[in-house]
Structure 1
């Protein structure tokens, strides 16, 4: 029997105002000089200023790095590494969405290594090039319920030279401590609540659909989807609902725990398009979702039957799951086509070629050829479901 290698997440503190424990958690881990990594818009908010002030009051020598974009680049990570080294920091506190946490984890991995960032791309055993004793500890506080990067062992970073996204991986990139505080997410506007929530759904859904054998991850994925079905519409319409916000944070972490089982064509295309068009990753996954489901339809009958029953959908099987997905997108005002996001057919051949080689492509229920990715892209561009 093939040897299987399964991982589960780290210590997680969940609850309203849990972020108030940050300074204490740092002291417990002998962290004295953390680098606070958060995006520019968050750095200016009262909530984040309050967390930083509490760290200073806890006698932590904190400085802030926020010079990165929604799709962080290798150059931006290098800038963060310089900040880390110049400030003689001993840890990273990553606060924000996937871009902040991915950037923070990449900085923590590479800052004191002998090899540069791209040497740790998730290819073969590249991760073994890193000296684990030089990887700085990370504490992660997500402010969106989407990527689940807070419980992941990788970062997705854009290579601006090749216009593609690369997955940087090491087992010890997993944050040592995660704080899920719903009060940090209540100010997220509805359109971002929708996009990030659909990202969480895409992680759970693609993990569930992946043919890899991982029954624990599969069970987590279907419960994650149930939570999203119940709570994403509430969080979207009433952002102050702390119960819904908490459950969405949990579902997001569940999705990233589950996708160690695999992802698929949704993410393969989203990575490629995100790097080329600098579009929101979760929004791309949301738009692509029904088209990828249809491309995999004939390989998902049994799984969709089980999922439709677990989610108590109005219709059984694949059609029930597809109709629920389309209805949820409509309720959340997610665009139906890539064209509505400004994507054009101009580089379709290159997009298909990069997608088939993306790291996520290997987890799809079937191997899709470059020609099939081209067809899938065009269906999503024009809004035609291949039924």
Structure 2
């Protein structure tokens, strides 16, 4: 595994390789952090895995505090509580340790550490980010324990506004973590279901950024290769959870996905965001269920990129159809079945009662602006209803 021990500086400093969490104290030293706040989720906080973080820190004289009072979809109250503890303990940096929720929460806490405005003043609307007092932001080290969201290389924190029942994107260019540690050993204990849902989340990022009409050839190239990596390594990581090479490659693919979606996302995320806010479901699972229904809706605009993707993934000629779009769709449907992903939203407890509200929220979601086709609430309602009924054939 020595070939996986490298350091990258795109889009930020990334320390890659199994076992590299042992260098956490070194990362803190590089950033001048002596008293970090470790932000994680309540389950991780109780697992032996957390010792992989605590031991190297304590061995090197770091005074580390732990904050784990966050929900699966972190809300503004969680962030306020974290900031309160950070200020009380006079922490000088944040270690965001866990899945996307913990990393989003950690980044938001580091942002809000020295702000006087409420968090919603920094929502990704217009130039709200200019309101941030950058002198009040603290350095962040991100250590993902799942391979999906890619939040460790993102400039956004997704925070739920529970009063408005909506997920809001908190943005600032300097919200990007200063150092990322991609250590596959931390993901070996992930159960198959979480491996599947988070891996499909990474795929959705690549797929939507690849289909985006926005001009960003670098992101498009990353997305294309990222999908090849998911195709090759996600089934391996799911089937044999101890496959360290597959786990490491999926961690990298997840970070690549969040780097690629600088090109934009689309209707998958536009629908997943309100569904997550209203039903508190796992974001990656929602994306996994929605992918084929959105692909079919976008088909008139994505035939050409799908043909190119089918050739790159060597799908054409290996399925029942030589059509690029149908080959990609067949592959995704087969992958979902292999990973045990439910075929429709009804299978995960989502009904059609709020169809109109969800459609309106999806049409207004920032992700909708870079979808290959311009959908209004009516089109989003139809996609949602099809996803509930499971109208795409297996």
Q: TM-score, normalised by structure 1?
A: 0.97
Cα pair 1:81 1:110 within 8 Å, conserved: yes
User: Pick from 104, 107, 113: which aligns with 2:106?
Assistant: 104
Matches within 5 A, 1:1-387: 9-313=11-315, 314=318, 315-385=322-392
- Give 1:55 shift: 0.6
Task: Between 211-220 and 129-138, report the one with greater CA deviation.
Answer: 129-138
Q: SS of 1:123's equivalent?
A: coil
Alpha-carbon distance in 1 for matches of 2:30, 2:326: 51
Q: CA deviation at 1:156?
A: 0.5
Give the whole-Å Cα distance in 2 for the aligned partners of 1:247 and 1:95.
Answer: 19
Q: Distance in 1 between matches of 2:18 and 2:361?
A: 42
Instruction: Give the deviation of 1:25 after TM superposition.
Output: 1.4
By how many angstroms is 1:386 displaced? 9.2
Deviations 1:130-155 (A, max 9, x none): 01121100000000000000000001
Change (3 A) 1:386 1:299: farther
Q: Is 2:22–2:52's contact at 8 Å kept on the other side of the alignment?
A: no
Question: For 1:135 and 1:97, how far apart are their aligned partners in 2?
Answer: 22
Deviation (angstroms), 1:385: 2.6
Give the drift of 1:316.
4.1
Partner Cα distance (1:369, 1:74) in 2: 29
- The unaligned stretches of length 5 or more in structure 1 are 1-6
SS at match of 1:300: helix
Range with bigger deviation, 247-256 or 19-28? 19-28
Give the whole-Å Cα distance in 2 for the aligned partners of 1:230 and 1:129: 43
Deviation at 1:28, TM superposition (A): 2.1
Which residue does 1:3 correspond to in 2? none
SS of residue in 1 equivalent to 2:37: strand
Segments of 5+ residues of structure 2 without an aligned counterpart are 1-8
Aligned mates of 2:371, 2:119 — CA distance in 1: 27
- Aligned mates of 1:8, 1:231 — CA distance in 2: 22
Alpha-carbon distance in structure 2 between the residues aligned to 1:214 and 1:76: 35
Query: 1:79-119: CA deviations, max 9, x gaps?
Result: 11111111101110000000000000000011211211100
Distance in 2, matches of 1:386 and 1:20, equals: 47
- Any conservation in 2 of the 1:234–1:241 contact (CA below 8 Å)? yes
- 4+ residue runs of structure 1 moved beyond 4 angstroms? none
In structure 1, what is the Cα distance between the partners aligned to 2:387 and 2:187? 30
Distance 1:47 1:184 in 2: 7
Q: Is the 8 A contact 2:114 2:135 kept in 1?
A: no
Deviates more, 1:108-117 or 1:91-100: 108-117
SS of alignment partner, residue 12 of structure 1: strand
Q: TM-score, normalised by structure 2?
A: 0.95
RMSD: 1.2
Q: Is the 8 A contact 1:148 1:254 kept in 2?
A: yes
Q: CA deviation at 1:311?
A: 0.5
